[in-house]
Structure 1
Amino acid sequence: FLAEEETQTRPPSCRTTPLINKYRTITSVCNNRRNPLLGASNTAFTRWLPAQYEDGISQPKGWDPNKLHNDAALPLVRLVSNRILSTADADIESDREFTFMLTIFGQWVDHDLTLTPFSPSIRSFSNGLNCDESCERSEPCFPIPAPPGDPRLRPDTCLPVFRSSPACGSGNTAYMFGENPKVREQINALTAFLDAGQVYGSEDGLAKELRDLTNDGGLLRVNDQFLDNGRELLPFTSVESNMCATRRKTLNDTTLTEVPCFIAGDVRVDENTALTSIHTLFVREHNRLARALHVLNPTWSSETLYQEARKIVGAYNQILVFKEYLPHIVGPDAYNRHLGLYPGYDENVDPTIANVFATAAFRFAHLAIQPMIFRLNENYQNHPQFPSVPLYEAFFSPWRVIFEGGIDPLLRGLIGRPAKLSTQDHMLVDALRERLFAFTSHIALDLAALNMQRSRDHAIPGYNSWRRFCGLSAPQNEQELAVVMNNTELARRLLELYGTPENIDIWLGGVAEPFAPGARVGPLFACLISTQFQHIRQGDRLWFENQGVFTTKQKASLASVSLARIICDNTGILRVPYDPFRFTSPSSFVNCGVIPAFDLTPWIETGKVP
Structure 2
Amino acid sequence: MADGKIPTSVTVQHIPPIPTVSKYLANPSISYTLGGKRNCILTSLRKMSDDAFSNGIYCFALQYFWTCFMILFVRQNPLWGAANTPLVRWLPAEYEDGEREPKGWNRGRLHNGFQLPSPLEVSKKILRSSSKEEDDAYSHLLVEWGQYIDHDITFTPQSSGTAAFWTGVDCLTTCENIHPCFPIETGDITSDAQGCMPFHRSVPACYVSCGSDIGQALQRQQMNAITSFMDASLVYGHTPKLEFFLRDLSGLNGKLAVNDQFKDPKGRPYLPFVATLPSACLQDPQGERVECFSAGDSRVNEGLPLTCLHTLWLREHNRIAEALNCINGHWSPETIYQETRKIIGALHQIITMRDYVPKIIGSESFERYIGSYGGYDPTTDPSASNVFATAAFRFGHATISPILRRLNESFQEHEHFPHLRLHNTFFSPWRIVKEGGIEPILRGMIGTAATAVRADMMLTEELTERLVVLNVPQHLDLAALNLQRGRDHALPGYNDWRTFCGLKSIKTLEDFKEVVRDGRVAEKILEIYKHPDNIDIWLGGLVENLLPGSRTGPLFACLIGKQMKTLRDGDRFWWEAEGIFTMQQKAELLKGSLSRIICDNSDVREVSPDSFRFRKYPSGYISCDHIPSMNLESWREEKSQDLEQCGTPRKIKNGDFILSSTSGKLVAQYSCYHGFKLKGAAAIVCEGNQWSDQPPQCTGTVHNLFLSWICFITFVCNEYGMLSMWCT
Measured against the shorter chain, the TM-score band is over 0.9
> How far 1:155 moved relative to its partner?
4.9
The match for 1:527 is 558
The match for 2:291 is 260
Helix, strand or coil: the match of 2:63? helix
Separation of aligned partners in 2, 1:59 and 1:321: 36
**Contact 1:145–1:156 at 8 Å: present in 2 too?**
no
Q: Which range moved further: 24-33 or 48-57?
A: 24-33
Helix, strand or coil: the match of 1:187? strand
User: Does structure 1 residue 278 correspond to structure 2 residue 309?
Assistant: yes
**Contact 1:20–1:30 at 8 Å: present in 2 too?**
no
1:585 to 596, 616, 635: 616
Say if 1:9 and 1:334 are closer, same or farther in 2 by CA, change over 3 A. farther
**Contact 1:339–1:534 at 8 Å: present in 2 too?**
yes
User: Does structure 1 residue 331 correspond to structure 2 residue 362?
Assistant: yes
Question: What are the superposed Cα offsets for residues 422-459 of structure 1, whole Å, 9 maximum, x if unpaired?
Answer: 11111100110000007763110000000000000000
Question: What are the superposed Cα offsets for residues 526-548 of structure 1, whole Å, 9 maximum, x if unpaired?
Answer: 00001000000000000000000
The residue identity in structure 2 corresponding to 1:387 is P
The residue identity in structure 2 corresponding to 1:50 is P
Q: Which range moved further: 6-15 or 278-287?
A: 6-15
What TM-score comes out, normalization by structure 1 length?
0.94
Helix, strand or coil: the match of 1:59? coil
> How far 1:338 moved relative to its partner?
2.1
Helix, strand or coil: the match of 1:543? coil
1:82 to 124, 130, 134: 124
> How far 1:215 moved relative to its partner?
1.5
1:161 to 199, 203, 214: 199
Q: Which ranges in structure 1 are unaligned for 5 or more consecutive residues?
A: 251-256
Say if 1:547 and 1:389 are closer, same or farther in 2 by CA, change over 3 A. same
What TM-score comes out, normalization by structure 2 length?
0.79
Question: What are the superposed Cα offsets for residues 261-306 of structure 1, whole Å, 9 maximum, x if unpaired?
Answer: 0000000000011110000000000000000000000111111111
2:166 to 126, 131, 148: 126
**Contact 1:577–1:586 at 8 Å: present in 2 too?**
no
**Contact 1:26–1:203 at 8 Å: present in 2 too?**
no
1:417 to 427, 433, 448: 448
Q: Which range moved further: 315-324 or 65-74?
A: 65-74
The match for 2:637 is 605
The match for 1:114 is 154
The match for 2:718 is none
User: Does structure 1 residue 502 correspond to structure 2 residue 538?
Assistant: no
Separation of aligned partners in 1, 2:314 and 2:124: 40
The residue identity in structure 2 corresponding to 1:601 is E
TM-align CA RMSD = 2.2
Separation of aligned partners in 2, 1:156 and 1:570: 48
Say if 1:482 and 1:440 are closer, same or farther in 2 by CA, change over 3 A. same
Say if 1:563 and 1:124 are closer, same or farther in 2 by CA, change over 3 A. same
Separation of aligned partners in 2, 1:120 and 1:439: 13
User: Does structure 1 residue 61 correspond to structure 2 residue 103?
Assistant: yes
The match for 1:216 is 252
The match for 1:185 is 221
The match for 2:693 is none
Work out the number of aligned pairs and report it: 593
Separation of aligned partners in 2, 1:276 and 1:372: 16
The residue identity in structure 1 corresponding to 2:632 is L
> How far 1:249 moved relative to its partner?
4.0
**Contact 1:26–1:202 at 8 Å: present in 2 too?**
no
User: Does structure 1 residue 341 correspond to structure 2 residue 372?
Assistant: yes
> How far 1:54 moved relative to its partner?
0.5
The residue identity in structure 1 corresponding to 2:251 is N
Question: What are the superposed Cα offsets for residues 5-53 of structure 1, whole Å, 9 maximum, x if unpaired?
Answer: 76735699667x7x54211235231111111111111111100000000
Say if 1:163 and 1:27 are closer, same or farther in 2 by CA, change over 3 A. same
The residue identity in structure 2 corresponding to 1:202 is H
Separation of aligned partners in 2, 1:20 and 1:337: 36
Question: What are the superposed Cα offsets for residues 80-136 of structure 1, whole Å, 9 maximum, x if unpaired?
Answer: 000001111xx3101111100000010000000010011132211232111011111
Which structure is larger by alpha-carbon Rg, 1 or 2? 2
The residue identity in structure 2 corresponding to 1:218 is G
**Contact 1:40–1:191 at 8 Å: present in 2 too?**
yes
**Contact 2:235–2:295 at 8 Å: present in 1 too?**
yes
Identity of aligned residues (%): 45
> How far 1:500 moved relative to its partner?
1.2
**Contact 1:27–1:203 at 8 Å: present in 2 too?**
yes
Say if 1:6 and 1:92 are closer, same or farther in 2 by CA, change over 3 A. closer
The match for 2:686 is none
Question: What are the superposed Cα offsets for residues 357-381 of structure 1, whole Å, 9 maximum, x if unpaired?
Answer: 0000000000100011111100101
Helix, strand or coil: the match of 2:135? strand
The residue identity in structure 2 corresponding to 1:34 is Q
Separation of aligned partners in 1, 2:304 and 2:224: 25
Question: What are the superposed Cα offsets for residues 464-520 of structure 1, whole Å, 9 maximum, x if unpaired?
Answer: 000000000011011111112133211111111111111111111111111111100
**Contact 1:391–1:431 at 8 Å: present in 2 too?**
yes
> How far 1:341 moved relative to its partner?
1.2
1:387 to 406, 418, 422: 418
